[in-house]
Amino acid sequence: MAPTLPTAPQTFQVYDVTLRDGSQQEGMQLSVNDKLRIAAYLDEFGVGFIEGGWPGSNPKDSEFFRRATSGELELRNAELVAFGMTRRVGGRAADDPLIAALRDSGARVATLVAKSHVGHVANALHTTLEENLAMLRDSVSHLRSEGMRVIIDAEHFFDGYRLDGAYALEVVRTAAEAGAEAVVLCDTNGGMLPSWMGEVVSAAVELGAPIGIHCHNDSGCAVANTLAAVEAGAMHVQGCVNGYGERTGNADIISVVANLELKYGWKVLPEGNLAEATRTAQAIAEITNVPAGPRRAYIGTSAFAHKAGLHASAIKVDPNLYQHVDPALVGNDMRMLVSDMAGRANIQIKGEQLGFDLSDRTLAAELTDRVKEKELQGYTFDAADASFELLMRAQLGQLPDVFTIKHWTTTSFADGENDADIVSEAVVKLVAQRQVQYFVGEGNGPVNALDMALRRALTPVYPAVDGYELTDYRVRILDGSSGTEASVRVLIDTTNGERTWTTVGVGTNVIEASWEALCDAYRYGLIHLLENTVEPVGARGAASPVDALA
Ligand SMILES: CC(=O)SCCNC(=O)CCNC(=O)[C@H](O)C(C)(C)COP(=O)(O)OP(=O)(O)OC[C@H]1O[C@@H](n2cnc3c(N)ncnc32)[C@H](O)[C@@H]1OP(=O)(O)O
Ligand SMILES: CC(=O)C(=O)O
């Protein structure tokens, strides 16, 4: 039975708080340039409001508003919002320096955080309930009289409602009467549950005020709570890209809008923009330097990745059997993972994605068995696509002989008089394009020395190798209980500037495992270089320049 879907209100506001609450996240440090770039992405994505920060609270945020409103940020979809708080206890909004900073920020919209919890009024503001209402009324009226649109964030609204519901609602009424265009109920401590939202939000909606929602994720329910509030009548949603924010974060604004558009069937972004969700989230993660996380709903790299054999066999018939929406709707892709949980279908789909014909069931079954054997030894192919491709090519008899290692060795020794200066040397002998290459490399460790020697040996034959860069190197001990006898897995990320690939090696020591992953990294890069492809292609049996070398 299809669920009953809520009807969209006449006006609906999508309000992003990445630049303010998002930057309250531990470890998040944004420069003014970062903030300007993020704002441009948010605007392009199509949110209605971008809360830029708190002018007057620190020089960076003041500078952001100065630059954003003097031509450096051209917004096509969004309104820039300046965040602040109601005037200080006992003062006048007209004389309050932080209110003045909002007024002078150049933004046309101000959002003020106001207390709505009697305990916070008494213990954080140290004032009376009446004075808190007066602060709210005075601040909203003043900014309205200065021509600004005003939104109120009612801090700790849900906890406050539980303690003294009448007062919390009085805050909503006062804000709306003073001219706030939305009163946003904040689950500041993030402890609400979806089933608790409806009654509280409905009570505020019944006052006739336009109600918004701002949820933190401390109970793991921020997106669900946001949707529950929308179902109870909220017409304004707040959240951060990638769920950034104070402590465990805010509602993920992209999950919220994707749910509104794809599950409720509402239009809350400009037409077609939802398909930019993945690109937007990833671009912003690059700027913040705080990764989006592969398992983020809708936009994560794992959001539509399939590992289990049973899933893959059904997906071969119809991808929708194992996905809740078409990944293309949010600009994401379906990915097929190869591991010891794979069945023939995973391998066949993955092979097809890489441009190989694995329709032969026996061949696919043999390759599946080979993958499982290797995974038992410690290899992990879902994290190392490039090594999987090499394994598949070998199984298909399509692994070009770009180079053959004849001999390798590495030693480390103390250099000079200072025993602390340990230097590593490596020797690599290989045959590439029928030429014997014998080179020595030196490095700050044995793996680095091996990389140098291998690179030197390959460069005369394949000069492009010089442009390869190892960007990440991860070591994992596979059987910790065996101490130094344990086997080791190494994953290496390599880039040629255009694309990055990952290879894996396993051995009883880290040098052996690294060497295998290194050789795979160069081999994979060279095969694709010689095939002259950016994405892997080369159907079974197809003629390619590599065939000449095989
Ligand atoms: C729930 C949220 O996340 S809201 C966003 C919170 N963000 C931030 O706090 C980041 C930016 N904040 C700051 O840079 C500083 O806290 C400032 C500039 C705003 C204020 O700094 P200070 O003047 O040094 O005060 P401090 O931060 O110690 O204390 C806050 C003061 O504001 C008062 N206050 C708190 N909320 C409000 C409010 N809604 N309205 C009016 N006053 C308030 C407090 O009672 C306290 O008053 P006091 O100075 O008389 O003790
Ligand atoms: C205003 C805000 O960020 C909060 O109450 O969580």
The single-letter DSSP state of residue 7 is P
Regarding predicted confidence, which is higher, 549 or 295? 295
Asked whether the beta carbons of 186 and 200 are under 8 A apart, the reply is: no
Residue 339 has a pLDDT of: 87
Pocket of ligand 1 (CB under 6 A): 54, 57-58, 85-86, 88, 113-115, 124-125, 135, 155, 188, 246
- Averaged pLDDT for residues 280-307: 94
Could you give the CA distance from residue 437 to residue 457 in angstroms, rounded to a whole number? Answer: 5
pLDDT at 485 exceeding the cut of 70: no
CA of 483 to the centre of ligand 2 (A): 49
CA of 198 to the centre of ligand 1 (A): 30
Residue 247 has a pLDDT of: 98
Among 17, 24, 54, say which to mutate for ligand 1: greatest number of ligand atoms within 8 Å of CB. 54
pLDDT at 484 exceeding the cut of 60: no
pLDDT band at 478 (very low <50, low <70, confident <90, very high): confident
pLDDT at 304 exceeding the cut of 70: yes
pLDDT at 434 exceeding the cut of 80: yes
ipTM: 0.97
SS3 90: coil
Among 23, 87, 125, 142, say which to mutate for ligand 1: greatest number of ligand atoms within 8 Å of CB. 125
Q: Give the ligand at the shortest distance from the Cα of 216.
A: 2
Closest to 131 measured CA to CA, from 191, 87, 177, 162: 87
Please state the atom number of ligand 2 nearest to the C-alpha of residue 113: 1
Residue 538 has a pLDDT of: 29
CA of 162 to the centre of ligand 1 (A): 24
- Averaged pLDDT for residues 519-547: 62
Residue 483 has a pLDDT of: 52
pLDDT at 539 exceeding the cut of 50: no
Q: Give the ligand at the shortest distance from the Cα of 91.
A: 1
Nearest CA to ligand 1 atom 48: 125
CA of 38 to the centre of ligand 1 (A): 25
For residue 227, give every residue at least 6 positions away whose Cβ sits within 8 Å of its Cβ, in sequence order, or none.
194, 256, 259, 260
Least confident segment among 53-62, 110-119, 330-339: 330-339
Cβ burial of 338 (10 Å; 0-12, 13-18, 19+) is buried
Q: Give the ligand at the shortest distance from the Cα of 250.
A: 2
Could you give the CA distance from residue 284 to residue 247 in angstroms, rounded to a whole number? Answer: 19
Among 60, 83, 86, 113, say which to mutate for ligand 1: greatest number of ligand atoms within 8 Å of CB. 113
Residues paired with residue 13 on neighbouring β-strands, in sequence order: 236
Pocket of ligand 2 (CB under 6 A): 21, 113, 153, 155, 186, 188, 214, 216
CA of 83 to the centre of ligand 1 (A): 12
Please state the atom number of ligand 2 nearest to the C-alpha of residue 20: 3
Could you give the CA distance from residue 180 to residue 143 in angstroms, rounded to a whole number? Answer: 10
Q: Give the ligand at the shortest distance from the Cα of 185.
A: 2
Nearest CA to ligand 2 atom 3: 21
Nearest CA to ligand 1 atom 21: 57
SS3 290: coil
pLDDT at 1 exceeding the cut of 80: no
Residue 2 has a pLDDT of: 79
pLDDT at 545 exceeding the cut of 60: no
CA of 184 to the centre of ligand 2 (A): 9
Residue 535 has a pLDDT of: 36
Q: Which two tokens stand for residue 377?
A: 């030894």
What is the separation, in whole angstroms, between the first and last Cα of the chain? 58
pLDDT band at 342 (very low <50, low <70, confident <90, very high): confident
Element (H, E) at 386: helix 385-396
- Averaged pLDDT for residues 35-44: 98
Regarding predicted confidence, which is higher, 234 or 412? 234
Residue 537 has a pLDDT of: 28
pLDDT at 550 exceeding the cut of 50: no
Residues paired with residue 83 on neighbouring β-strands, in sequence order: 111
pLDDT at 532 exceeding the cut of 90: no
- Averaged pLDDT for residues 162-167: 98
CA of 177 to the centre of ligand 2 (A): 21
Q: Give the ligand at the shortest distance from the Cα of 187.
A: 2
pLDDT digits (tens, 9 = 90+) for 174-221: 999 999 999 999 999 999 999 999 999 999 999 999 999 999 999 999
Closest to 347 measured CA to CA, from 303, 378, 391: 391
Residue 137 has a pLDDT of: 98
pLDDT at 369 exceeding the cut of 70: yes
Could you give the CA distance from residue 363 to residue 348 in angstroms, rounded to a whole number? Answer: 10
pLDDT band at 411 (very low <50, low <70, confident <90, very high): very high
Asked whether the beta carbons of 85 and 56 are under 8 A apart, the reply is: no
Q: Which two tokens stand for residue 302?
A: 């794992």
Domains of the chain: 86-238 (3.20.20.70), 305-373 (no CATH), 404-548 (3.30.160.270)
CA of 173 to the centre of ligand 2 (A): 19
Please state the atom number of ligand 1 nearest to the C-alpha of residue 125: 45
pLDDT band at 486 (very low <50, low <70, confident <90, very high): low
Q: Tell the residue number behind the tokens 């965040």, with chain if given.
A: 83
Q: Give the ligand at the shortest distance from the Cα of 86.
A: 1
pLDDT at 536 exceeding the cut of 60: no
CA of 135 to the centre of ligand 2 (A): 18
Residue 387 has a pLDDT of: 97
pLDDT at 547 exceeding the cut of 50: no
pLDDT digits (tens, 9 = 90+) for 313-323: 888 889 999 99
Nearest CA to ligand 1 atom 3: 21
- Averaged pLDDT for residues 305-331: 92
CA of 478 to the centre of ligand 1 (A): 49
Among 151, 161, 216, say which to mutate for ligand 2: greatest number of ligand atoms within 8 Å of CB. 216
pLDDT at 533 exceeding the cut of 60: no
Please state the atom number of ligand 1 nearest to the C-alpha of residue 126: 45
